[in-house]
Every structure is written in structure tokens, then in C-alpha cells.
Amino acid sequence: WKAPDGIYWICGKKAYSELPSKWKGSCTLGVIQPSFFTLPRSESGLLGAPL
């Protein structure tokens, strides 16, 4: 079973664009969104806030 474009089969801790052949188990369709972001770069190369 192939998932629609931009959607994935989420099975536990793994995600697939297409379920493996002879797959057994339970999965759901969902969107994968990375949990990171980028900061704008300043001239000094510092983040602008103490860490």
C-alpha cells in the first residue's frame, strides 16, 4: 500500500512511504514534520543570547 504524496505510514517508531510487502501490524497515516529550526545569522556569528 503506497501512501499519498506528503503522507507516510507511521508504524511505531518508523515511517514508510509504502508499507513493506507482507506487512503485519497496525499503522496510521500521518505527516512527518522535523522538530528543528534555523536561526538568522548575525555578522558576529553569535546567537545573540547567552546559552
Q: What is the pLDDT along the chain (51 residues), one digit of tens a residue?
A: 899 999 999 999 999 999 988 989 999 999 998 877 777 666 666 655 555
- List, in order, residues 6 or more apart from 40 with CB less than 8 Å away: none
Question: What's residue 49's pLDDT?
Answer: 55
Q: pTM score, two decimals?
A: 0.62
Point out which residues pair with 2 in neighbouring strands.
18
Question: What's residue 36's pLDDT?
Answer: 76
CA dihedral 25, 20, 33, 36 (to 10 degrees): 110
Question: What's residue 33's pLDDT?
Answer: 86
State the cell numbers at 11.
508504524
